Amino acid sequence: MTTQNTESAGVSTAQDSNQSDVLLNVQNLKMHFPITRGIILQRQVGSIKAVDGITFELMRGETLGLVGESGCGKSTTGRAILQLYEPTAGEVIFEGQDLTEINSGELRRMRRRMQMIFQDPYASLNPRMTVGSIVGEPLEVHKIGGSRREQQQRVQELLEIVGLNPYFINRYPHEFSGGQRQRIGVARALAVNPSFIVCDEPISALDVSIQAQVINLLEDLQSEMGLTYLFIAHDLSVVRHISDRIAVMYLGKIVELADREELYENPLHPYTQALLSAVPIPDPEIEKKRQRIILEGDVPSPAEPPTGCNFNTRCPQVMEICHQYEPSFADVGDGHRVACFLYDEVESLDESGQPVSHTA
Amino acid sequence: MGNLIEVRNLQTQFFTQDGIVHAVNGINYDVAEGETVAIVGESGSGKSVGVMSLIRLIPEPPGKIVNGEVNFDGQDLLQLNEEELRQIRGNRIAMIFQDPMTSLNPVLTIGRQITEALELHLNMNREESRARAIELLELVGIPDAGARLDDYPHQFSGGMRQRVMIAMGLSCNPQLLIADEPTTALDVTIQAQIVDLVTRLQSELGMAIIWITHDLGVVAGLADRVLVMYAGFIVEEGPVDVIYGQPRHPYTLGLLRSIPRLDLGRQKRLIPIEGLPPDLLDPPQSCPFAPRCPFVIDKCLEENPPLMSIDAVRKSACWVDLSDVEIYDTSADEQVEAVA
Ligand SMILES: Nc1ncnc2c1ncn2[C@@H]1O[C@H](COP(=O)(O)OP(=O)(O)OP(=O)(O)O)[C@@H](O)[C@H]1O
Ligand SMILES: Nc1ncnc2c1ncn2[C@@H]1O[C@H](COP(=O)(O)OP(=O)(O)O)[C@@H](O)[C@H]1O
Ligand code: SF4
Ligand code: SF4
Ligand SMILES: [Mg+2]
Ligand SMILES: [Mg+2]
């Protein structure tokens, strides 16, 4: 979000002038993992449809929140975009180039522009490396650090940017708290001057009192450097705070995407509505009066998603058509997109179960 | 209503290679019959050690309950022998843990794990206990309970396993249910199912609950009373609406301020609590929150404030009067419409 960035920091970055640019364009992205049986002769007996055809755009300088329940495919989406997995299908057009098409040399060059911050600050840092070598490693990999001295200087600069004492450069990860480790992860991601960062639940493993520190840091860095974020989280309150637009995922698909306030004030998809109603609010007065939508049952396995609308096994408003057809991800106005027959112009079904006036 | 459990001056420490971990530093509280008390605080603040001490589930060594009394229905649990305690644990006081996978036995069927407790505590025979197990699974909303009895834990989802844990916890009609972050590992929609389930069961069965969590949102809808822990101390205590309406300890205030709220206009900037909690190996003599506290005065550095009554229902461990401080400084908030 740009209004906030420019007014709070008062800095004008190169990105300001072309903020409406599309930085990333994801088209019908699929990531299926094979399920194999047999020890010697592995045969594929099915596939886990972790990400199953998602489409969205990300503007330069924007933060897109990606929310959904555990296992719905958020991390896989992030990884498939960065080509840490080889996508099963679809296009990932980043700064005008389709990453799924380019050769490995080109991809390596593009990697500098895209980084990832991980969910678990404990597991994602190599315990045997010093902070200096962890943060400096990307410089080395991409051979952009210059001399040893210059590299060291750059690392100290980075530590300062993320609010760590540059003097910590020779310490090891275990000497830091969770919040500090997450800062180290951020410094490492920033080392190569990326324009795009996938933040995969960067605060979920942190204590409440520390979470706000890291959120503020990410916001400051964005306004200073014009970064673009894909911010993955399951905490809807945090996502609302940090995002410009929000995409809601369920079982490998994006079911709704809208501007932040539009999504919270006017959620259309029954899953989004249930998700929002489930978020506890730290106010007893409100909580006592709230009517929750309690969803029945569990998320189906992504190896055998239901046919038709994949939410039909839990949807409180399920209709007959939802079992037979899959709703399209349609724009209902002002870029608010939703995949649900409640908003599709389907009047009724004829005797054979065919929709009568389906606007495909 | 009378007190079901009274905790007095409970103090638990761990004697480790690096020194003494001061995990719980003399805490006092009561839980009335049928009441729900939430314990909140960040990780390491002594929430789990505090409740595990009640039923002496602290690994000894390195742990040791060095002081205190836990009066439950007229007896001090800390004075009972192992056999007497076993009669109470899992029977009159039940406990549910954070991670249902580690607390369920992976090689026993779901059914067997429930019937075992019933046979042990309630002297039921095989048929009786099996029938009761089905009843319990139905009670916690497991569909087709009779057939699922012969499944193993790994065949259940996380939310279902937690429901099984609750079924087991409730199997002997406990007077007190201790739930240690039972929804932390679960998604919000599943969390809502579990919270809904537990509140419904409580109104049917009438047990008291101690619910531990770090999520202030969950507490708001669930608890009658809240205890806030910091560095092994209870720093604030009171009815849930009073605490959330006007926190009187800077740590509670800081927690409420640092989380974004779904229902409020979007805060322009979150107000974090700066710094880190103290090292419990070397706890300060001062107020433990002093290094992070925006209200600190000289006295805080000299003397750790005890938990003091502010009025008839609430207590706070702080030398400074926060009664005029607003939780949300609305002037600093960016109003939602400005974002368009
Ligand atoms: N390498 C893999 N091989 C097989 N299946 C995988 C692999 N990675 C992920 N999956 C499966 O794909 C689905 C989506 O996983 P993903 O990690 O993207 O979920 P997520 O939304 O990030 O969840 P969480 O909130 O728990 O982090 C899950 O069913 C998961 O088990
Ligand atoms: N077995 C143990 N050995 C040493 N220290 C322990 C042990 N169990 C807990 N502690 C320490 O006791 C303190 C309180 O822990 P705990 O009650 O688990 O916190 P929480 O509030 O997160 O539940 C922490 O400093 C923790 O590291
Ligand atoms: S398409 Fe049907 S099942 Fe799917 S969300 Fe909409 S109403 Fe529910
Ligand atoms: S006693 Fe002093 S340092 Fe401690 S919380 Fe109160 S004001 Fe802050
Ligand atoms: Mg993930
Ligand atoms: Mg704990």
Query: Is the CB of residue A253 less than 8 Å from the CB of residue A247?
Result: no
Inform me whether the C-beta atom of residue B217 falls under 8 Å from chain A C-beta atoms: yes
Distance A114 CA to ligand 5 centre (A): 18
Q: Please report residues of B whose CB lies closer than 8 A to that of A278.
A: 188-189, 191-192
Residue nearest to atom 19 of ligand 2 (CA): B44
Residue A262: closest CA among A162, A346, A333: A333
Kindly tell me the sign of the dihedral angle through the C-alpha atoms of A109, A115, A118, A122.
positive
H or E element at residue B72: strand B63-72
Chain A to chain B, count of Cβ pairs less than 8 Å apart?
141
Burial of B249 (0-12, 13-18, 19+ CB in 10 A): buried
**Which chain A residue has its CA at the smallest distance from B194's CA?**
A294
Query: Is the CB of residue A274 less than 8 Å from the CB of residue A261?
Result: no
- Pair type for strands B208-213 and B176-180: parallel
Which carries the bigger pLDDT value, residue A75 or residue A356? Answer: A75
Q: Please report residues of A whose CB lies closer than 8 A to that of B183.
A: none
Alpha helices in B173-249 (DSSP H): 188-205, 216-222, 240-245
B82-85, long-range: CB < 8 A, 24+ apart: B85/B55, B85/B56
Residue nearest to atom 22 of ligand 1 (CA): A75
Residue nearest to atom 25 of ligand 1 (CA): A70
Indicate yes or no: CB of B261 within 8 angstroms of CB of A283: yes
Which of A208, A282, A284 has its CB closest to that of B42? A208
Count how many Cα atoms sit within 13 Å of the Cα of residue A40 in the half-sphere of its side chain: 0
Average pLDDT estimate for A252-271: 96
Kindly tell me the sign of the dihedral angle through the C-alpha atoms of B242, B248, B250, B251.
negative
Residue A303: closest CA among A55, A84, A36: A36
Residue nearest to atom 17 of ligand 1 (CA): A75
**Which chain B residue has its CA at the smallest distance from A176's CA?**
B276
Distance B212 CA to ligand 6 centre (A): 8
Residue B330 has pLDDT above 70, yes or no: no
A14, A118, A161, A175, A358 from A154: Cα distances, Å: 22, 22, 10, 22, 58
CB distance B190 to ligand 4 below 6 Å: no
Share of chain A above pLDDT 70, in %: 90
- Name the amino acid, one letter, at A321: I
Give the position of tokens 């049928």: B34
**Which chain B residue has its CA at the smallest distance from A283's CA?**
B220
Average pLDDT estimate for B123-140: 88
Residue A25: alpha-carbon gap to chain centroid: 14
Which of A207, A212, A260 has its CB closest to that of B270? A212
DSSP output for A120-136: -TTTSS-TTS-HHHHHH
Average pLDDT estimate for B313-317: 96
Residue B336 has pLDDT above 60, yes or no: no
Residue nearest to atom 3 of ligand 2 (CA): B14
SS3 A299: coil
**What does the block give as tokens for A251?**
């079982």
- Taking only residues 26 to 65 of chain B, the set having a beta carbon closer than 8 angstroms to any beta carbon of chain A reads 42-43
Residue A208 has pLDDT above 90, yes or no: no
H or E element at residue A141: helix A131-141
Inform me whether the C-beta atom of residue B215 falls under 8 Å from chain A C-beta atoms: yes
H or E element at residue A263: helix A260-265
- Closest approach of chain B CAs to the CA of A91, in angstroms? 30
CB distance A74 to ligand 1 below 6 Å: yes
Q: Which ligand ends up closest to the CA of A251?
A: 1
Query: Is the CB of residue B32 less than 8 Å from the CB of residue B2?
Result: yes
Bridge partners, B29 (sequence order)? B7
* Strand boundaries in chain A, DSSP class E: 22-37, 43-59, 63-67, 89-94, 97-98, 114-117, 196-200, 228-233, 245-250, 253-259, 330-331, 337-338
Residue B110: closest CA among B168, B66, B153, B154: B153
Q: What was the pLDDT predicted at A8?
A: 38
Q: What was the pLDDT predicted at A232?
A: 94
Which carries the bigger pLDDT value, residue A348 or residue B2? Answer: B2
Distance A70 CA to ligand 5 centre (A): 7
Alpha helices in chain B (DSSP H): 47-54, 82-88, 100-103, 110-122, 126-139, 145-148, 158-170, 188-205, 216-222, 240-245, 250-258, 298-302
- Closest approach of chain B CAs to the CA of A238, in angstroms? 6
Query: Is the CB of residue B186 less than 8 Å from the CB of residue B147?
Result: no
CA pair distance A240, B152, nearest whole angstrom: 39
Quick: pLDDT tens for A123-153. Answer: 788 889 999 999 999 888 888 878 888 888 9
Distance A274 CA to ligand 3 centre (A): 12
Query: Is the CB of residue A216 less than 8 Å from the CB of residue A131?
Result: no
CB distance A85 to ligand 1 below 6 Å: no
Residue A347 has pLDDT above 70, yes or no: no
Q: What was the pLDDT predicted at A352?
A: 56
Indicate yes or no: CB of A282 within 8 angstroms of CB of B219: yes
Q: In sequence order, what are the residues at sequence separation of 6 or more whose Cβ sits closer than 8 angstroms to the Cβ of residue A332?
A: A268, A338, A343
Query: Is the CB of residue B174 less than 8 Å from the CB of residue B207?
Result: yes
Bridge partners, B16 (sequence order)? B19
Indicate yes or no: CB of B196 within 8 angstroms of CB of A292: yes
Q: Which atom of ligand 4 is nearest to the CA of B293?
A: 8
Query: Ligand 4 test: best mutation among B296, B304, B310, B323, most atoms within 8 Å of CB?
Result: B296
CB distance A70 to ligand 1 below 6 Å: yes
**What does the block give as tokens for B33?**
């019959």
Q: In what order do the strands lie in the sheet with A63-67?
A: A114-117, A196-200, A228-233, A63-67, A245-250, A253-259, A337-338, A330-331
CA pair distance A16, A30, nearest whole angstrom: 32
pLDDT band at A360 (very low <50, low <70, confident <90, very high): very low
SS3 B254: helix
CA pair distance A253, A261, nearest whole angstrom: 21
Which of A3, A234, A241 has its CB closest to that of B188? A234
Q: Please report residues of B whose CB lies closer than 8 A to that of A4.
A: 268, 334, 339
Which of A70, A234, A282 has its CB closest to that of B256? A282
Q: Which atom of ligand 1 is nearest to the CA of A119?
A: 27
- Region of A334 on the Ramachandran plot (φ > 0 left; ψ -120 to 50 alpha; else beta): left
Distance A249 CA to ligand 5 centre (A): 12
Query: Is the CB of residue A163 less than 8 Å from the CB of residue A187?
Result: no
Q: Which atom of ligand 3 is nearest to the CA of A310?
A: 4
pLDDT band at B142 (very low <50, low <70, confident <90, very high): confident
Query: Is the CB of residue A68 less than 8 Å from the CB of residue A278?
Result: no
Give the position of tokens 């960062």: A197
Residues having C-beta closer than 5 Å to ion ligand 6: B 48
ipTM attached to this prediction: 0.79
Q: Which atom of ligand 1 is nearest to the CA of A72?
A: 21
Q: What was the pLDDT predicted at B199?
A: 86
pLDDT band at A235 (very low <50, low <70, confident <90, very high): confident
Bridge partners, A33 (sequence order)? A48
Average pLDDT estimate for B145-166: 84
Going by the DSSP 8-state scheme, the letter that residue A207 receives in this structure is: -
Q: In sequence order, what are the residues at sequence separation of 6 or more whose Cβ sits closer than 8 angstroms to the Cβ of residue A233?
A: A65, A66, A67, A201, A203, A204, A239
Please give the angle made by the CA atoms of A289, A290 and A296, to the nearest 5 degrees: 140
Which carries the bigger pLDDT value, residue B226 or residue B145? Answer: B226
pLDDT band at A41 (very low <50, low <70, confident <90, very high): confident
Inform me whether the C-beta atom of residue B256 falls under 8 Å from chain A C-beta atoms: yes
**Which chain A residue has its CA at the smallest distance from B275's CA?**
A210
**Which chain A residue has its CA at the smallest distance from B263's CA?**
A281
- Residue A90's CB: how many other CB atoms inside 10 A? 19
Residue nearest to atom 23 of ligand 2 (CA): B48
- Residue A301's CB: how many other CB atoms inside 10 A? 12
Average pLDDT estimate for B268-281: 86
Q: What was the pLDDT predicted at A10?
A: 37
- Region of B34 on the Ramachandran plot (φ > 0 left; ψ -120 to 50 alpha; else beta): left
Residue A11 has pLDDT above 50, yes or no: no
